[in-house]
Amino acid sequence: MEVISNRHEIYARISHERHSGRSVGLVPTMGALHAGHISLLERSREICDVSVATIFVNPSQFGPKEDFTRYPRTLEDDLAKLERAGTDFVYVPDSHSIYPPGYSTYIEPPAVGNRWEGECRPGHFRGVTTIVLKLFQLIPATVSFFGRKDYQQALVIRKMVDDLNVPMRIETCPTLREPDGLAMSSRNRYLTGSDRQQALGLWHALQAASDKINAGERRVSILERELKQTLNDHQIEQIDYAVVVHSETLEPLETVESSAVILIAARVGTTRLIDNLLIEG
């Protein structure tokens, strides 16, 4: 595994792989890697000749009051995990080379980023689309892998790639969960013992709503009431949103139609968590 921090070098190495006819899989991350990230690399190794991961805690996607400074930075541990996962290249830029003094170009995210995370975290998707496009320019991979846990992010990236004619395929991979159902997330490290129990409320709420849908309930108002009730039952009171929306546009629905997604964002202790469940029609 080669660890590269120079942007000219990573570009030259990956371009060479592509020109030699090899397919390249890219897994962009902010580090603090868990089994969910590793599953993206496994998928990359399954279908690509060469696998690349990036580790960069991207300042531009954090709001001024968010957790940029305390975001876990575990580089040594991350590199060991990536090596074990059979990664070929890791790009670890420093902030200065990505955003040098005077940097001023940002990508305006597509409309699918307007609601939900877009409303709760102003500027977040602008930071995500900007860094992801920059990484795509530096690492001209064949396909890039993202977790479904960040459901709206994956849609935003897909649409950006489509709208801007970026020659990259986007593959969204399933959310990995702990044995009790908690979605894996780098931010789970923030959860204290009692927070960890409460955090399960997100998964239980998704399941409760999905059970109701399977039992024939189609009215979104009833389903959203069920989501909130289950969250409250777990002492989760600070709910940013708990909604059942169209799975492609993320627009609100009155009734569950062919394909919908349940999206939740809520605060557990000092930790903001998100989770989702796709309802296939």
Which residues make up the interface to ligand PAF (CB under 6 A)?
A: 28-30, 58, 61, 128, 131-132, 150, 153
Strand-strand pairing, 89-91 and 24-29: unpaired
d(CA 78, CA 35): 11
CB of 76 to ligand PAF, least distance (A): 19
Q: 93 or 201, CB closer to ligand PAF?
A: 93
Q: 58 or 276, CB closer to ligand PAF?
A: 58
CB of 73 to ligand PAF, least distance (A): 13
Closest CA to 261 of 271, 248, 274: 248
**Got the DSSP string for 33-81?**
--HHHHHHHHHHHHH-SEEEEEE---GGGS-TTSSTTTS---HHHHHHH
Catalytic: which of 8, 16, 34, 37?
A: 37
Partners of 54 in the β-ladder = 28, 91
d(CA 221, CA 225): 6
Q: 58 or 230, CB closer to ligand PAF?
A: 58
d(CA 259, CA 196): 31
Strand order in the sheet with 2-4: 2-4, 89-91, 50-55, 24-29, 143-147, 169-173
Q: 131 or 243, CB closer to ligand PAF?
A: 131
- Is 19 known to be catalytic? no
Residue numbers annotated as active site: 37
